[in-house]
């Protein structure tokens, strides 16, 4: 196993961050400093800053279909919180300390991942991760080619939460699928981003559903239910 994957599975850091630890000379394998591509064999002793680290048991990652009205918060005192929604699924979720990866606003539905792998969660939520997120959107009036082109090119958003009050969204992939319906793929996740993009161009979102995160698709998973990820889906997030 490559040293960066070993450290990621030990929960020390993401693979990219693990490479930085190796390059900084903070990692040893059997007392020697490895290179970024070095392998860890069974029985090897790996240390980070002089402390032995070992891979933990396989991490848990599941897909959940968040219904409209559910708030993406882990605060158990908050009404309609997503942890309560997950526990109310027909099948009890795995016994792990799961956290939601990212957010979906209360008026939106769709795919949200849960995991006990904090390094994976942090990596997927980083602004520079480049993780694709796909949404199915219905707006209040007929689409125009000008609107679709603006959504694809990037939209100037004002009155955003601090620290950046004005931002320009990254280019996106947009596909018209109906008179008032389109699909959009973005690689960022600013607060209420798609709703704000539409509003900036004179449209109101009537329905918004996230259908994909990276290589994980919502598919026909019913609202309020969860499923484990396949091996292929897990590999796509690695």
Segments of the chain assigned to CATH 3.10.290.10: 3-52
Q: Does residue 164 have a pLDDT over 80?
A: no
What's residue 58's pLDDT? 66
Query: Which tokens hold the place of 20?
Result: 């930085």
Give every strand in the sheet of 46-48, ordered side by side: 27-29, 46-48, 51-52
Mean per-residue pLDDT for 118-127? Answer: 85
- pLDDT band, very low/low/confident/very high, at 27 (cuts 50, 70, 90): very high
Question: Which pTM was predicted?
Answer: 0.76
The single residue of 19, 38, 80, 105 carrying the catalytic annotation is 105
Mean pLDDT across the stretch 167-173?
Answer: 95
- Chain-centroid distance, C-alpha 212: 10
The CATH class given to the 61-127+219-237 domain equals alpha beta
- Calculate the average pLDDT of the chain: 92
Q: Which two tokens stand for residue 4?
A: 């960066």
* pLDDT attached to residue 159: 80
Specify the residue for token string 């959940």.
64
| CATH 3.30.70.1560 placement within the chain | 133-213
Span 139-155, mean pLDDT? Answer: 98
* pLDDT band with cut points at 50, 70 and 90 for residue 96: confident
User: How do residues 1-18 score in pLDDT, each as one tens digit?
Assistant: 899 988 887 878 888 888
**Which pLDDT value is given to residue 56?**
63
Instruction: Tell me where in the chain the CATH 3.30.70.580 domain(s) lie.
Output: 61-127+219-237
Tell me how far CA of residue 108 lies from CA of 74, 79, 193, 194, 201, in angstroms.
17, 16, 12, 11, 19
pLDDT band at 197 (very low <50, low <70, confident <90, very high): very high
CATH homologous superfamily for the domain 3-52: RNA-binding S4 domain (3.10.290.10)
Beta carbons of 164 and 143 less than 8 angstroms apart:
no
User: Is 105 in the active site?
Assistant: yes
Is there a contact between 209 and 135 (Cβ–Cβ < 8 Å)? yes
Q: What's the CA gap between 121 and 70, in Å, rounded?
A: 20
Distances (CA, A) of 58 to 8, 9, 159, 220: 11, 8, 42, 26
Q: Angle at the Cα of 134 (from 133 to 138), degrees rounded to 5?
A: 135
**What percent of the chain has a predicted confidence (pLDDT) above 70?**
99
Rounded Cα distance between 7 and 11, Å, is 6
pLDDT digits (tens, 9 = 90+) for 47-59: 999 999 887 666 8
- Asked if residue 98 has pLDDT above 90, the reply is yes
Homologous superfamily of the 133-213 domain (CATH): Alpha-L RNA-binding motif (3.30.70.1560)
Average pLDDT of 107-119? 94
pLDDT at 127: 76
The residues, ordered by sequence, that sit 6+ positions from 98 with a Cβ below 8 Å of its Cβ are 60, 62, 86, 114, 115, 116
pLDDT over 90 for what percent of the chain? 72
């Amino acid at each position: 196993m490559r040293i960066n994957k070993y450290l990621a599975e030990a929960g020390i850091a993401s693979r990219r961050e693990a490479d930085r630890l190796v390059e900084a000379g903070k990692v040893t394998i059997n007392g020697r400093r490895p290179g970024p591509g070095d392998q860890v064999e069974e029985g090897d002793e790996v240390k980070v800053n002089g402390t032995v680290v070992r891979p933990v048991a396989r991490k848990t990652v599941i897909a959940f279909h968040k219904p409209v009205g559910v708030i993406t918060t882990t605060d158990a005192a908050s009404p309609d919180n997503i942890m309560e929604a997950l526990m109310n699924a027909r099948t009890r979720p795995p016994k792990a300390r799961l956290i939601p990866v990212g957010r979906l606003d209360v008026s939106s539905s769709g795919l949200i991942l849960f995991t006990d792998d904090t390094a994976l969660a942090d990596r997927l939520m980083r602004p520079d991760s480049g993780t694709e997120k796909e949404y199915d959107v219905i707006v209040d009036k007929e689409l125009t080619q000008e609107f679709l082109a603006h959504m694809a090119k990037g939209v100037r958003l004002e009155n955003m939460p601090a620290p950046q009050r004005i931002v320009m969204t990254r280019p996106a992939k947009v596909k018209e699928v109906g008179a008032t319906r389109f699909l959009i793929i973005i690689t960022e996740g600013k607060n209420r981003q798609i709703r704000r993009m539409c509003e900036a161009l004179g449209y109101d979102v009537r329905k918004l559903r996230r259908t994909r995160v990276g290589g994980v698709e919502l598919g026909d998973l019913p609202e309020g239910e969860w499923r484990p990820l396949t091996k292929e889906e897990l590999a796509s997030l690695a």
